[in-house]
Structure 1
C-alpha cells in the first residue's frame, strides 16, 4: 500500500439546513495531508453531519468541500476518493474476512486474483494474516473492526473516515484497537478524519482535535493544548473534568498573569488577560493537598474515596466545592478533616469569564 495519495481536506463556509432548521451555521477548517484529525463533541453538535458531508452522503446547503485540492462539494460518494469505517463495521456476514476486504477492490474493476492478493496484504497490515478464511461471526469485535479498517485501507483513499469506530467494543479492547489505528496511520501516513464523543479516545489518537458545539467550532488544536489550555468552561469540562473557579487577575507581565484565588496568589499563562474578574479552569489532579491548616487555600473534606492509584476528594473552600484527585495514597483524609490546598503549574488555565 502506498502513502503518496494522502490528501488535504478543506471545508469552506459550509452551512447545512434540514428544512427550516440550521444544524451547521458556518463551518470552515483545513486538515493537512497525512494527519489524523478528530471531530469531537456531544451528541447533536454536528460532527456526524460534517463527516457525512465529507463522505458525500449529505450535501451542504452552502459552501464548498475540497479533497486533495479538488472541489467535491456536489460529487456523489462513489466519485470521492475516500473510504469509510462505520460504527457497525458493516461486514457481509456470509463472506469470509478475505472476501469482505476484497469486495470493494473487485467492485472497482480489479480481477478476482489481484483483489484477493491485495486483500491478503490488507489483512496482514492490520495483524490478521492467515485469518482470511474466518467469517465475521468467528471473529472477536476487535478483529471485526480490523477487517473493516483493512477493507477501507486497501482502496488506498486520499482520506480515511472513521465514524465512532470503537463504540461497539469494551473498554479494554477499545484501548488496544485505538492504539492499532493510530500506529497504522502514523506508519502509512494516510489522512484520517475520526469522529467520536469520547474525550480519552480523541486525546489518544489525534494530531489535532476540532471540538464542536451546536454546529460551530468551539476550539481546535493539539490534544495537549485543548486539555491544558481550554478556551472556555465548555472545553474545560468537556475535555475531562475541571473545576471552574472565580478569580481576580491582579496584573499581567512577561506573558504571565498574577491571579488571586481566595487568599492564595498564583501565576498562570496570561492568554490576553486583563486585570479584573476572571475564571480559572483547574484540573482535579492539579490541586495539591496537605493535611491541616497552613499557608494556602483552606479546605475541609466533604467526602473522600480511596481508589487504589489515587484518592478522590470533594472539598469545601471559600471559592466553592472542589473535586480533587490526589496521587498521595499513603494517607486518606476523612470527612471533616482540615486541609491546605495549592495549585501546580500545569493543568491550570485562565478561561473566558
Structure 2
C-alpha cells in the first residue's frame, strides 16, 4: 500500500466563533505535502478546533481552507480527502481488527474481497500482520492505536489527522508508538497534522510545530528552533521548563549579544536586538553550579532532589529562584550550600517577555 499524492494544507485568514466567543482569530498557515506538523498548546488554545475545521467537523465563520489546492471550506467531512485517528480510537468493539480496518473501504463501495485484502495490507503496514482476527478487547492499547492508524491509512488520504492519538497510553508505550508513527509517516510520505498538548511528543515526531495560544499562533518552526530560540516567555516555558530572569544587554557584535545577569556576563545569539534591559530564558540544564567564590553570580541551594540520573535543585539568587537540572549525581550538593552560578553555551535565549 502507498499513499498517492500527499496534499498540502492551507488556512487563509480563518476565524471561528461560537456565539460571542471567538475560538480562532485570523489564522493563516501552510503545511507542505509529505510533512508532519503538530498543533501544540494548552487546553483551550484552539488546536482541536483547528483540526476539526480541517476535518470538516466544524466550518469556519470566515476565511478559507484548502487541501491539495482545492477549496474545501464548506465541504462536509465525507467529501474531503482526509482520514482521522481519534483520541478514543473509536474502534467497533464487536468487530475484529480486520473488519475495523476494512469498514471504511467497504462503506466507500469497495468490494468485500478487495477491501479485506487492503485491510490485511494495512495491518501488516503497522506491524499487526496475522492479528486481524482479534477483537479490540483482545489487543493492547498500543495495538488498538495501530489498528486505528491502519484504518485511516488504507483510505489513502491526502492528509492524515491525529487528535491526541497517544493520550490513552502509558508513558513507556507512548514513547514507542510515537516512534512508530513518525517512522511510518516518513516511510510512506503522507501529510499528517498532529494535535497534542505534550511537548515531548511534539518535539519527537514533528517536522514543524505550531504553538497556539488563545486562538492565535504564538510561534512556529522546527522543533529545535522553538526549543533553543523561543520568542517569548510563554514559548520558553511551554516548550520545556525555563527560568526567566532579567538581564542587561551590554552590546551586540557578529550576531551575538553580550548579556549580564547580576555579576555574570555571557554571550548568546543576538537576533537583531538592541542594548538595554531584556528578559532571558535559561533552560534548567543550561545552568552550572560550582563552589562559591568572590565576584561570582552566587546563590544558595534551598532544595535538592535525587532522581536517579540527575539531581534537581532550587537555588535562591538575587535574580530570583532558579530551577537547575544537574547530571552530576556523584557530587550531589546539599541544601544550604553556597554556589557560584554559570551558564552553558546552549539553552539560553533572549525573549520578548
TM over 0.5: yes
In the other structure, the counterpart of 1:185 is 185
In the other structure, the counterpart of 2:4 is 4
Please, which moves more after superposition, 330-339 or 191-200?
330-339
In the other structure, the counterpart of 2:163 is 163
The Cα shift of 1:294 comes to 5.3
The Cα shift of 1:136 comes to 0.3
In the other structure, the counterpart of 1:30 is 30
In the other structure, the counterpart of 2:56 is 56
The Cα shift of 1:123 comes to 0.2
Q: Which digits, 9 at most, give the CA deviation of each residue in 1:156-176, with x for residues without a partner?
A: 000000000000011111111
What is the CA–CA distance in structure 2 between the aligned matches of 1:205 and 1:328, rounded to whole Å?
29
What is the CA–CA distance in structure 2 between the aligned matches of 1:165 and 1:295, rounded to whole Å?
52
Any idea what SS the aligned residue of 1:314 has? strand
In the other structure, the counterpart of 1:45 is 45
CA contact (8 A) 1:295 1:340 kept: no
In the other structure, the counterpart of 1:194 is 194
In the other structure, the counterpart of 2:134 is 134
CA contact (8 A) 1:291 1:333 kept: no
Any idea what SS the aligned residue of 1:281 has? strand
CA contact (8 A) 1:82 1:160 kept: yes
Matched, 1:66 2:66: yes
Please, which moves more after superposition, 270-279 or 153-162?
270-279
CA contact (8 A) 1:293 1:338 kept: no
What is the CA–CA distance in structure 1 between the aligned matches of 2:186 and 2:220, rounded to whole Å?
21
Any idea what SS the aligned residue of 1:330 has? helix
In the other structure, the counterpart of 2:318 is 318
In the other structure, the counterpart of 2:75 is 75
Gaps of 5+ in 1: none
Gaps of 5+ in 2: none
The Cα shift of 1:292 comes to 2.9
The Cα shift of 1:306 comes to 1.2
What is the CA–CA distance in structure 2 between the aligned matches of 1:193 and 1:294, rounded to whole Å?
53
The Cα shift of 1:295 comes to 5.6
The Cα shift of 1:152 comes to 0.1
How much is the aligned-residue C-alpha RMSD, in angstroms? Answer: 0.8
What is the CA–CA distance in structure 1 between the aligned matches of 2:130 and 2:295, rounded to whole Å?
64
Q: Which digits, 9 at most, give the CA deviation of each residue in 1:12-57, with x for residues without a partner?
A: 0000011111111110000000000000000000000000000000
CA contact (8 A) 1:288 1:343 kept: yes
Any idea what SS the aligned residue of 2:289 has? strand
In the other structure, the counterpart of 1:152 is 152
Matched, 1:17 2:14: no
What is the CA–CA distance in structure 2 between the aligned matches of 1:292 and 1:319, rounded to whole Å?
16
TM-score normalized by the length of structure 2: 0.99
The Cα shift of 1:327 comes to 0.8
Q: Which digits, 9 at most, give the CA deviation of each residue in 1:302-351, with x for residues without a partner?
A: 11111110111000111111000001111111111111111011000000
Aligned residues: 353
- 1:196-211 map, 5 Å: 196-211=196-211
In the other structure, the counterpart of 1:232 is 232
Q: Which digits, 9 at most, give the CA deviation of each residue in 1:31-88, with x for residues without a partner?
A: 0000000000000000000000000000000000000000000000000000000000
In the other structure, the counterpart of 1:283 is 283
